[in-house]
Amino acid sequence: MLDADFFHRWLAAAAAAVDREADRLTELDSPIGDADHGSNLRRGFTAVVATPEKEAPDTPGAVLTLAGRQLISTVGGASGPLYGTLLRRTGKALGEAPEVSEAEFAEALRAGVDAVAALGGAALGDKTMLDSLVPGVDALPTSYAAAREAARRGALATIPLQARKGRASYLGERSVGHQDPGATSSALLFEALAEAAGEAPGE
Amino acid sequence: MSDGVQRVGIVLVSHSAAVAESVALLAQDLAGGGTGPVAPAGGTADGGLGTSSDLVAAAAHRVDRGAGVAILADLGSAVLTVKALIAEGDELPALSRLLDAPFVEGAVAAVVTASAGGDLTAVAAAAQEAYSYRKV
């Protein structure tokens, strides 16, 4: 069973990963975006982990719902409402239980990914964060390591794609050949999840 | 307001504070000046380019007179942030609606309609109709 501490660990690992990779995310966002993905996400996740321990929520659902709200209000770019919706909808799907099973979490995260797709009007293959989120969540029932690997592959698979959503879509064919920064940061979430679950770091 | 009509509030959400403020002024001037509540919510809280959900929520509450709040947004994160706030349920006044409309033309149509006492449905329809005004 997964308790609130597991989700605090996940968010802390995600914040650390975003902080560590912020420059790379911004670099990926330079040719096809507005070169702020790393700094925007760093600002958002810094706010998420800045919640004082005594005020930290104590159910999985509340941990994720609060984190989602914080991302929506602090990121400033499109990744704020998108990641905010992902976490908030996942949190709401988990309800108020003090502990949730891994299957329940996988199902809730699926609801979160579906909400992201609905909000952005994007689908698999549009060269967005969904290209990492969807394979990640598909693999989650197998294992955290499998989800991490699937999300990472999904992010790499955006390189030959032409963007059909977001600012990069204005570039048309010039978006081909660049790894999508959103899919890359989404893969970090699965990497952080595997870390929170105690999986050894992958390649 | 002498006629006692509760005007629909209008919020203009742009990536740029200057754009939101200028379009608000333009729309109000074209509507005959200052007869309905209009608030710009442009840029991030620290003055950069982007969207601040806090600025959007504050603007919506500022223009809310109980007749609803019509929100126009320009691009990407502005649209997504408003949608996410509406989905949140308790961040915006109860009758808040994102209009499907071009930003400048839609803002003018919305403010004119709201200033004339149109309800939220009429304001939304007027703003959306701006899409059908072809230029060539």
Chain A segment 29-88 residues within 8 A of B by beta carbon are 34, 36, 40, 69, 72-73, 76-82, 84-85, 88
In angstroms, the separation between the Cα of residue A28 and the nearest Cα of chain B is 18
Report the mean per-residue pLDDT for chain A: 95
Q: Over pLDDT 90: what percentage of chain A? A: 91
Superfamily of domain A2-196: DhaL domain (1.25.40.340)
Domain-located, residue B104: yes
Mean pLDDT of B29-41: 87
pLDDT at residue B2 tops 60: no
Report the mean per-residue pLDDT for chain B: 93
CB A10, CB A193: distance < 8 Å: yes
Domains of chain B: total = 1
CATH number, domain of B57, equals 3.40.50.510
**Which of A34, A36, A82 is closest, CB to CB, to B80?**
A82
Domain-located, residue B65: yes
Main-chain phi, psi angles of A162, to 5 degrees = -100, 130
Subunit contact A88:B88, Cβ cutoff 8 A: yes
Domain assignment of residue B79, given as a range: 11-41+53-113
- Residue tagged 């719902």 (tokens): A65
Domain-located, residue B128: no
Alpha-carbon dihedral A28, A193, A83, A111, rounded to 10 degrees: 130
pLDDT tens by residue, A103-139: 999 999 999 999 999 999 999 999 999 999 999 999 9
Domain-located, residue B37: yes
Domain-located, residue B120: no
Domain-located, residue B35: yes
The pTM assigned to this predicted structure is 0.92
Mean pLDDT of B16-28: 96
Subunit contact B81:A119, Cβ cutoff 8 A: no
